Amino acid sequence: MGKLDGKVAFITGAARGQGRSHAVRLAEEGADIIALDMCRDLPTVAYPLATPEDLDETVNLVEKTGRKIVARQADVRDPDAVQSVVDAGVAQFGRLDIILANAGIMPIIGEGSHQRQAWHDAIDIMLSGVYNTVEAGLPPMLDAGRGGSIVITSSSAGLYVGGMKKSAKSAGGWGYVAAKHGVVGLMRAYAVAFGPENVRCNSIHPTGVATPMIMNEAFMQFGADNPEFAATMQNLMPVPVIEPIDVSNAIVYLCSEDGRYVTGVTFPVDAGLIIH
């Protein structure tokens, strides 16, 4: 028997990385999945983003667990597109219990990161996109009267800005930090507003995670060229990065009965980075 049997989870940025890991892990615990991802590159981001084939693989992996999934390509910057994905999923599954606002980019390196558009991309995807995600999912959650769980993916950079001391000073870098701090305020506001209806809201704050967001040629070269930046991102525990499953397991806790009275918290999964 899974910890999330009978539940339905809506996950953004689900084509690969943390989002795919969350989709598969929650499915293993019994949840059906509503998934979206933009599945296209951005000029302000120096590494390749997810593809439609990546989203297809997420579908395949979820279905291998025995659970069902509704997956669509959509941009979290477009509230109507996000709403259409939620509507399609709720029409199939009849409910929505969990919202994981996970979609994110890392526009902090490369020439594109210094364009003003990089600031807008960071804020529009990782702050406004979180708002669009939660607003699309809240109505069916509230209408059912069963409560629910919202988890917003922030970052260690939402609590700690050591990396900005050195080489990540760019329009995209500032936007990344602003968005990751901004969603903490949004999380607390949702926790206060909907706690009386048994809807919990928390943010999760990983250190570097072994996903294509940082495990790519452009980011590795940036770290090699700027060792002072890499030095500010060293974890307290003796691991350079954590695995996506480490974040997914924390999310299972926050979304299951194990975490039923946990709300309004900033939940680090950071190998001690922010206290180092």
CA–CA–CA angle 244, 73, 189 (5° rounding): 65
Residue 150, beta-bridge partner list:
99, 201
Mean pLDDT of 177-183: 97
pLDDT of residue 163: 60
Q: Is residue 45 part of a domain?
A: yes
Tell me the per-residue pLDDT of 16-65, one tens digit each, with 9 for 90 and over.
999 999 999 999 999 999 999 999 999 999 999 999 999 999 999 999 99
pLDDT of residue 41: 97
Greatest alpha-carbon pair distance for the chain in Å reads 53
Q: Is residue 3 part of a domain?
A: no
Q: Is residue 57 part of a domain?
A: yes
> Is residue 166 over pLDDT 60?
no
Buried/exposed code over 173-208 (b: 16+ C-beta within 10 A; e: otherwise): bbbbbbbbbbbbebbbebbeebeeeebbbbbbbbbb
Structural domain count of the chain: 1
- CA distances from residue 74 to 9, 38, 230, 266 in whole angstroms, order as listed: 16, 5, 33, 27
Residues catalogued as catalytic: 176
> Is residue 133 over pLDDT 80?
yes
pLDDT of residue 182: 98
CATH number for the domain spanning 21: value is 3.40.50.720
- Domain holding 135, by residue range, is 8-267
Q: Is residue 15 part of a domain?
A: yes
Q: Is residue 220 part of a domain?
A: yes
Q: Is residue 2 part of a domain?
A: no
pTM: 0.96
CA distance 45 to 255: 31
Q: Is residue 182 part of a domain?
A: yes
CA distance 223 to 217: 10
CA distance 19 to 23: 6
